Structure 1
Amino acid sequence: MTARPPLKAILFDLDDTLWPIAPVIAQAEVTLHAWLAEHAPRVAQQFSIEELRARRMALLASRPELHVDLASLRRAGLQAAFAELGEDERHLDGAMRHFSAARNAVKLYDDVLPGLLKLKQRLVLGTITNGNADLEVVGMAHHFKVSLAAAHFGRAKPAPDIFLAACAALNVAPAEAVYVGDDLKLDVEGAQRAGLRAVWMNRSGSDAHLAAGIAPDAICATFDELLDWLENQLAY
């Protein structure tokens, strides 16, 4: 068996890898609905948070290209509701700004920042996300040399293009990089098909990889476990 080259770079998913996202989105949607009640009251009165979500999912089914840009999906959903009820669409920008601010109010898992600081001493760091977190707003952009988002790149995970582009931007071969993410299909399988090693960040202890038939290069429940695994790789 041919030995793999030493690792030079580590790339991360964002949502549910560096921070939990479900409570953030839930709170952002509550604050957005309250904002709509003040600035676009007909929309807030006609549609609950759940109904607005269902309308977005229906819109996504008819416009699958919006998978790569979740902010555009949300805006399109709101725009349709505004138009249907005769609300002033000039408030759309304000609604999106309000949601974005709340959506970026994330709280890192406790082990993430100490782990990143250790990793930066030995590897070059980057991120790839299908989401719409703004690392500048979050205050984490300075930790990463490259950050690719599907909405700006035009292709989303698990497409190999976005993994390969990140590696090229870091000036490393795919075999010299490892990707860390929580989603078996998008993150693990996507990265491996692009030629990267892939670590499944499995904080819940799930055994879903068995049923999915996916074999991560490593399964880690914490950043400490990730650091331990990296110690055994050829770069260490």
Structure 2
Amino acid sequence: MNDIARPKAILFDLDDTLWPIGPVIAEAELALHAWLAEHAPKVAQTFTIEELRARRMALLAEKPEHHLDLIGLRRAALEAAFAHVGEDLARLDGAIRHFSAARNAVQPYQDVLPGLQRLAQKVTLGSVSNGNADLEVIGLAHHFKVSLAASRFGKAKPDPAIFLAACKALGVAPHETVYVGDDLFLDVQGAQKAGLKAVWMNRTGSMAHLEAGIEPDAICRDVDELIAWLEQQLVD
């Protein structure tokens, strides 16, 4: 650990840190395609899920600014698909609502809810995400004093600005703040460059940080290990 102030706040990444997101997105895309088959059949008949995904990735490569808003990217790609087959664009809003509802049907890891409750007794909590999770819909918003999303803030991790804005909103200095996330580059390296401590939430036991040459301030498998690490910092 660096010789700096004791933590006063913890900021969390969301997707793949507090819940697994890959299976949720896969299910959401299945649900969306089924919705399209019923409400926008020309799109579903013309494009498979994989083809829609490929079109979306091609649009992102063409317009990388879309990485700030992944729902906006999905909407833009769907709009192009609707237009390509002559489908009624009035149905686009319904498609996005249906996908978003399925995308927010996440299940937190078992350690998350009790862990957040315990952490809240020790430090102030917030979140910073590049994704489009709706914490109100998910039911976790009340755990966080501040929640910043790249799509609304206008800058995405690893840009220091979004980390620093969250610290300012919490009323804490960067060196008094811990960022917890699963991505070595966006979360760990990004937070450290902004002056925060960074904990790598490594639920799989990966050793990828060695190859990447990134040294987190701590590596934790779950929120219980994060709490144990935090308690050590608070007594040192």
Question: What is the TM-score normalised by the length of structure 1?
Answer: 0.98
Summarize deviations over 1:52-73 as a string: whole Å, max 9, x none: 0000000000000000000000
Give, in whole Å, the separation in 1 of the partners of 2:57 and 2:5.
43
**Superposition pairs for residues 1-236 of structure 1, below 5 Å?**
3-234=3-234
What RMSD over aligned residues (CA atoms) do the two structures have, in Å? 1.2
Give, in whole Å, the separation in 2 of the partners of 1:14 and 1:76.
24
Summarize deviations over 1:107-159 as a string: whole Å, max 9, x none: 00000001000000010000000000000000100000000000000000000
Q: Which of structure 1's runs of 4+ aligned residues deviate more than 6 A?
A: none
Question: What is the TM-score normalised by the length of structure 2?
Answer: 0.98
Give, in whole Å, the separation in 1 of the partners of 2:226 and 2:3.
21
Tell me how far 1:234 sits from its aligned partner: 3.5
Give, in whole Å, the separation in 2 of the partners of 1:3 and 1:164.
20
**Shift in alpha-carbon separation, 1:63–1:31, aligned structure 2, 3 A:** same
Summarize deviations over 1:159-210 as a string: whole Å, max 9, x none: 0000000000000000000000000000000000000000000000000000
Give, in whole Å, the separation in 1 of the partners of 2:231 and 2:123.
12
Count, aligned residues: 236
Give, in whole Å, the separation in 2 of the partners of 1:2 and 1:159.
22
Give, in whole Å, the separation in 1 of the partners of 2:155 and 2:87.
33
Instruction: State the identity %.
Output: 72
Tell me how far 1:235 sits from its aligned partner: 6.3
Tell me how far 1:79 sits from its aligned partner: 0.2
Tell me how far 1:231 sits from its aligned partner: 1.0
Where does structure 2 lack aligned partners over 5 or more consecutive residues? none
